[in-house]
Amino acid sequence: MTSPDQDDREIIATRVFDAPRELVFNAWLDPIQLARWWGPAGFTNTFHEFDPRPGGTWRFTMHGPDGTDYLNDNVFVEITWPARIAIDHLSAPKFRITATFEALGAKTRLTFRQLFETAEIRRKVAVYAVPANEQLFDKLAAVVARDLPLRREVVITRMLDAPRELVWAAWTEADRLARWWGPRGFTAPVCRIDPRPGGDIYIVMRAPDGSEFAMNGVYREVVAPERLVFTNNPLDAEGKPMAEGFTTITFTAHGDRTEMTVRSQSAVLVASAAFMLEGMQEGWSQSLDKMAEYVAG
């Protein structure tokens, strides 16, 4: 509920970004991306602690262009994928950040609010915070709009001859997931998952020729047995992400059968990974073929 004097204590900035909501939202929760764009023009960041979940700490040092360091202590208050993030800034001056993300087709409207303790603090901070927020948005836009052509979305719906609970287990139990994950001929010798919001994913696929391909990710939403949302990022030989992916799976029961829809988006982070987009449709199709055979059996 908005208090009568809240407008006097609040700075609000809004911008529409040329990127899907999931990509913009994840740029707030991925520390690698966040460190690239947080702060005014010319500022850089060193993260000391980053735990993006309610009650989790975000502690970092912001480095000014003149060499001055600014230590920032924050705590996450709310994370509602992919619509809302609230953060308390504990260092002086204290304020609450609330970011809301509205999908506009393939674009996103971000509303960024800073609520201060008093109107006087807000007045003093606004002198530099208002232009700084616009610079911050410029940097965020550059991050999420990078290589716009190097993006792809795959949507696949399957009617599976298996009850919803079994299909859900095939996605959320590591030993089951490892049996079908990957295209035809691929295996998953390493499959570590923690299917809860904020839980990690790490899978290594092995091709028929012995080549291995690793990916990691984080579960963003786990609503058993209806909906699963997670990030899935292919890694290079040094363990660095080459692309960022967002996958949403919905499960609808039809008696003893299950309608499953997989929606996967991917954006290339390095040009050398562009080839991955070409194989997304076929890779997902073959993997889901294997899954359908597994749950039916």
CA distances to 214, 221, 288 from 273, rounded to whole Å, are: 13, 27, 23
Upstream peptide bond of 93 is cis (omega within 30 degrees of 0): yes
Which is higher by pLDDT, 19 or 196? 196
User: Which amino acid appears at position 241 of this protein?
Assistant: P
pLDDT at 1 over 50: no
Residue with token string 């619509």: 83
Beta strand extents in the chain (DSSP E only): 10-17, 44-50, 57-63, 69-80, 84-89, 95-104, 107-116, 151-160, 187-193, 200-206, 212-223, 227-231, 233-234, 243-254, 257-268
Q: 27: which residues sit within 8 A by CB, 6+ positions away?
A: 33, 34, 37, 140, 143, 144
- pLDDT classification of 3: cutoffs 50, 70, 90: very low
CA pair distance 22, 217, nearest whole angstrom = 14
pTM of the predicted structure, to 2 decimals: 0.67
CA distances from 286 to 116, 156, 214 (A): 52, 11, 18
pLDDT for 255-290, tens place per residue?
Answer: 999 999 999 988 877 767 777 888 899 999 999 999
To the question of domain 6-144 being in CATH 3.60.21.10, the answer is no
Mind listing the pLDDT tens digit for each residue in 20-43? 888 899 889 888 889 999 999 999
User: pLDDT category, 155, cuts 50, 70, 90?
Assistant: very high
Listed range (4-8, 103-107, 126-130, 289-293) with the worst mean pLDDT: 4-8
Angle at which helices 164-172 and 280-296 pack, to 10 degrees?
120
Contact 95, 117 (CB under 8 A): yes
Mean pLDDT of the chain: 92
CATH number belonging to domain 151-296: 3.30.530.20
Euclidean distance between CA atoms 163 and 50, whole angstroms: 39
Spatial contact of 279 and 169, defined as CB atoms under 8 Å apart:
no
Please name which of 42, 268, 261 lies closest in space to residue 138, comparing C-alpha atoms. Answer: 42
Q: For the CA atoms of 143, 150, 205, 185, what is the dihedral angle to 10 degrees?
A: 170
Which spans in the chain are helix H?
A: 6-9, 21-29, 31-37, 119-144, 164-172, 174-180, 275-278, 280-296
Q: Is the pLDDT of residue 236 over 60?
A: yes
Please, where in the chain does CATH 3.30.530.20 lie? Answer: 6-144, 151-296
Map residue 105 onto helix, strand or coil: coil
